[in-house]
């Protein structure tokens, strides 16, 4: 039942990231969250799809239903985030941290372990892994640079 656990973990992560996106207060934060979600959502869906296909061969309609359920989690989180908008920066930070932490846990305990245990294309996998980390770090730096320039302009 590994893929079901993966679906649940990725679903929880998707709800948290949707909550963080829905609670984002400014355009820059919303844009950066959206880009980050788009950058990794496809990889997560492919990983989940491959895992489901290996576990449930010849059950295409069942797999499709599970992937549709997976695709609904982030929009549900966004709607909840908009409804639960408190205006509190700490709540937005809390859900951002929960999204990041759940992503790290799922990726380190399920996805990365599975991928690097196979010997094929290890160099490309490591390169892609590093490129993904660098891309997300670039987004974080862009966001912090924009935040610093906004604070500098207000003084």
Taking only the tens place, the pLDDT of each residue in 14-52 is: 998 898 888 887 888 788 888 888 888 888 888 889 889
What value does the mean pLDDT take over residues 53-81? 92
Give the Cα separation of 51 and 45 in Å (integer): 10
pLDDT tens for residues 89-126?
A: 888 788 888 888 887 887 777 777 777 777 788 888 88
Contact 22, 85 (CB under 8 A): yes
Q: pTM for the whole thing?
A: 0.75
Give the Cα separation of 108 and 105 in Å (integer): 5
Q: What is the pLDDT of residue 60?
A: 92
Burial of 142 (0-12, 13-18, 19+ CB in 10 A): middle
Q: What is the pLDDT of residue 146?
A: 58
Q: What is the pLDDT of residue 149?
A: 57
Most confident by average pLDDT, 16-20, 66-70, 84-88? 66-70
Mean pLDDT value across the chain: 83
Least confident piece of the model among 13-17, 53-57, 85-89, 98-102: 85-89
Q: What is the pLDDT of residue 155?
A: 44
CA dihedral 48, 54, 55, 57 (to 10 degrees): 120
């Amino acid at each position: 039942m590994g893929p079901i656990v993966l679906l649940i973990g990725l679903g929880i992560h998707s709800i948290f990231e949707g909550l963080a996106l829905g609670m984002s207060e400014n355009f820059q934060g919303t844009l950066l969250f959206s880009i980050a979600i788009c950058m990794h959502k496809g990889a997560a869906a492919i990983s989940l799809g491959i895992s489901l296909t290996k576990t449930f061969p010849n059950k295409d309609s069942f797999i499709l239903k599970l992937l549709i359920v997976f695709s609904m989690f982030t929009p549900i989180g966004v709607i909840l985030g908009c409804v639960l908008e408190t205006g509190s920066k700490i709540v937005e930070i809390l859900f951002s941290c929960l999204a990041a932490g759940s992503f790290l846990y799922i990726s380190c305990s399920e996805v990365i372990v599975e991928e690097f245990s196979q010997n094929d294309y290890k160099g490309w996998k490591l390169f892609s892994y590093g490129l993904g980390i660098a891309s997300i770090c670039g987004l974080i730096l862009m966001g912090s640079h924009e935040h610093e320039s906004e604070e500098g302009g207000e003084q």
